[in-house]
């Protein structure tokens, strides 16, 4: 098959720019056009909480690649403020609106990469459109929150105790606000194990963050200035000068769906491991697309920047016929709340049960440094394995030092389909300043192996 001459990429952040850059690098003769409806490309959304924490920084510090650089150095035909409205797969054209010039036009393509990402969910509740009710998804949202903080709000309510909720509880507290987190489900960080969540609860309480789980938010109300002043729930009203809605994201699949491309059971765009959609001339990558899960051996939707970058690169390589395969995800993620590092990978106990495994678990605490070496702190490790086969299924870590990056040992073990015995026998580093002679991961494996039927 010949290499396509005219390639269009829809969406210019992690997945889209990775794909566009990869195509140009591998095949400089291809003309690559990126349509991005916003005003920024290639920024690190993941850094927004930490950027907002520092009043001296600018949100623009997060831009990794400027539009000028993409055009002049990478040779990408980048069109900002261009919204793609429709894809006509039969004709091989897109309908596009250039909002700077208020102009609609059609653009032909030989190959298409869809990298339209995801959007923040805004529940359609009364008052959730008031000034002072924010979401955090793109750079514009980050700038809006920074601006809101300049007005000196005293109290924040965060709706949702997932990744953004936890990161921003820390950030808004650091910016001097009293923070209350409201979570609909019965625990913070739904899907994480209760042992890990207990450490998070302790940390939030130590830092003065109030949280309420099993709470249904009903409305937001305005004060006399017309800005948000409170949030009402089924268990009371909470004063708020700033409300951050962090209740999850939805994949932007409407464009793909209307054009007839297959949408997977997860609600994201179905792709094979070449990042190809149900139409062989169309690839998809990043938060709008599914990803193959190496443990579950099927597609899942776990929208993360690390996956968006990898999938975008593979989609781009395959557009120019490199024949690359995305090996898949195991669901590795981590974050920091105050001084606590948290990370997880694989599937949790409940999900493992739902998927038909017979899970066994172990939770241990071990010091981050050798006995007698000053300054060590506990690292908590929680592991999940299948009772019958001993296959490692997942793990979580929490601790104030040396916790988050230890998840990479577990992620590597999962990627290699290791059993608990394999994990227990890993030759991990030991030196008193950064590990105990039995690394916390190995101590957890030692405990878990006692519960496995066939070690």
Question: 26, 38, 46, 412: which one is catalytic?
Answer: 46
> Measured from the CB of residue 288, what is the shortest distance to ligand NAD in angstroms?
12
Considering only 32-40, 164-172, 320-328, 399-407, which stretch makes contact with ligand NAD by CB under 6 A? 164-172
Query: Which of the listed partners (ligand FAD, ligand NAD, none) does 185 bind, with a CB threshold of 5 to 8 Å by partner kind?
Result: ligand NAD
Contacting range for ligand NAD; rule: CB under 6 A; set: 92-100, 146-154, 242-250, 324-332: 242-250
Q: SS3 sequence, the chain?
A: CCCCCEEEEECCCHHHHHHHHHHHHHCCCCEEEEEECCCCCCECHHHHHHHHHCCCCCHHHHECCCHHHHHHCCCCEEEECEEEEEEECCCCEEEEEECCCCEEEEEECCEEEECCCEEECCCCCCCCCCCCEECCCCHHHHHHHHHHHHCCCCEEEEECCCHHHHHHHHHHHHCCCEEEEECCCCCCCCCCCHHHHHHHHHHHHHCCCEEECCCCEEEEEECCCCCEEEEEECCEEEECCEEEECCCEEECCHHHHHCCCCECCCCCECCCCCCECCCCCEEECHHHECEEECCCCEEECCCCHHHHHHHHHHHHHHHCCCCCCCCCECCCEEEEECCEEEEEEECCHHHHHHCCCCEEEEEEEEECCCCCCCCCCEEEEEEEEECCCCEEEEEEEEECCCCHHHHHHHHHHHHCCCEHHHHHCCCCCCCCCCCCCCCHHHHHHHHHHCCCCCC
Provide the minimum distance between the beta carbon of 134 and ligand NAD in the complex, in angstroms, as a whole number.
12
**Does 289 sit near ligand NAD (CB under 6 A)?**
no
In whole angstroms, the minimum distance from the beta carbon of 37 to ligand FAD comes to: 4
Contact pick of 238, 292, 335, 357 for ligand NAD (by CB under 6 A)? 335
Residues lying near ligand FAD in the complex (CB under 6 A): 10-16, 35-38, 45-46, 48-49, 83-84, 115-118, 136-137, 164, 252, 255, 286-287, 303-306, 308
Contact string (CB under 6 A) for ligand NAD, positions 10-49, x = contact: ----------------------------------------
Could you say which of 87, 247, 256, 343 contacts ligand NAD (CB under 6 A)?
247
Give the HSE-up count for residue 136: Cα atoms under 13 Å, Cβ half-sphere. Answer: 34
Q: Is residue 383 at the binding interface for ligand NAD, with CB under 6 A as the rule? A: no
Residue from 251, 303, 346, 390 touching ligand NAD (CB under 6 A): that is 303
The residue (of 306 and 350) whose beta carbon lies closer to ligand FAD is 306
With respect to ligand FAD, which residue has the nearer C-beta, 45 or 220?
45
Q: Mask of contacts with ligand NAD, 196-235, x by CB under 6 A?
A: ---------------------x------------------
Residue 46 bears catalytic tag: yes
**What is the rounded distance in angstroms from the CA atom of residue 343 to the CA atom of residue 328?**
19
Residue nearer to ligand NAD on the CB measure, 251 or 390: 251
Q: Which of ligand FAD, ligand NAD, none does 160 bind, CB closer than 5 to 8 A by kind? A: ligand NAD
Question: Which of the residues 75 through 134 are near ligand NAD (CB under 6 A)?
Answer: 123
Residue nearest to ligand NAD (CB): 162
Distance of CA 259 to the CA centre of its chain: 27
For residues 12 and 348, which CB has a smaller minimum distance to ligand FAD in the complex? 12
**Residues identified as active-site:** 46
Instruction: Provide the binding-site residues for ligand NAD, judged by CB under 6 A.
Output: 123, 159-165, 167, 182-185, 190, 217, 246-249, 303-304, 333, 335
């Amino acid at each position: 098959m010949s290499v396509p001459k005219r390639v269009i990429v829809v969406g210019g952040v992690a997945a889209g720019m990775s794909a566009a850059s990869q195509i140009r690098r591998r095949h400089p003769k291809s003309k690559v056009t990126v349509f991005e409806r916003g005003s920024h490309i290639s920024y690190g959304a993941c850094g927004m909480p930490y950027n907002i924490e520092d009043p001296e920084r600018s949100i623009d510090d997060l831009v990794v690649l400027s539009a000028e650089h993409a055009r002049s150095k990478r040779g990408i035909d980048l069109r900002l403020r261009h919204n793609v409205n429709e894809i006509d797969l039969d004709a091989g054209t897109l309908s596009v609106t250039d909002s700077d010039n208020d102009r609609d036009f059609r653009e032909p393509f030989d190959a298409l990469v869809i990298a339209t990402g995801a959007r923040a969910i805004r529940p359609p509740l009364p008052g959730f459109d008031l000034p002072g009710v924010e979401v955090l998804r793109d750079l514009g949202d980050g700038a809006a929150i920074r601006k809101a903080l300049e007005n000196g709000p005293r109290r924040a309510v965060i709706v949702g105790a997932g990744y953004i909720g936890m990161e921003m509880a820390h950030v808004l507290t650091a910016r001097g606000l009293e923070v209350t987190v409201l979570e609909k489900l019965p625990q913070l960080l739904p899907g994480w194990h209760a042992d890990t969540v207990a450490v998070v609860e302790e940390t939030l309480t130590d830092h003065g963050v109030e949280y309420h789980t099993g709470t249904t938010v009903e409305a937001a109300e305005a004060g006399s200035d017309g800005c948000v002043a409170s949030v009402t729930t089924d268990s009371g009203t909470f004063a708020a000068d700033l409300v951050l809605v962090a209740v999850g994201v939805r994949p932007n699949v409407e464009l793909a769906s209307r054009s007839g491309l297959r949408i997977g059971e997860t609600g994201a765009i179905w792709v094979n491991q070449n990042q190809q959609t149900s139409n062989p001339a169309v690839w998809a990558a990043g938060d709008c697309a599914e990803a193959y899960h190496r443990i579950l051996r099927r597609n899942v939707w776990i929208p993360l920047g690390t996956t968006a970058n990898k999938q975008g690169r593979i989609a781009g390589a395959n557009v120019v016929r490199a024949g690359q395969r995305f090996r898949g995800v195991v669901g590795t993620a981590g974050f920091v709340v105050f001084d606590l590092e948290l990370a997880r990978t694989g599937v949790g106990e409940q999900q493992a049960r739902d998927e038909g495994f017979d899970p066994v678990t172990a939770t241990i605490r071990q010091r981050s440094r050798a006995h007698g070496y000053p300054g060590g702190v506990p690292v908590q490790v929680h592991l999940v394995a299948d009772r019958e086969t001993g296959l490692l299924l997942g793990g979580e870590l929490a601790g104030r030092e040396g916790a988050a990056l230890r998840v990479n040992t577990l992620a590597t073990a999962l990627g290699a389909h290791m059993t608990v015995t394999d994990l227990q026998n890993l030759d991990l580093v030991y030196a008193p300043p950064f590990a105990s002679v039995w690394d916390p991961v190995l101590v957890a494996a030692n405990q878990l192996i006692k519960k496995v039927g066939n070690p």
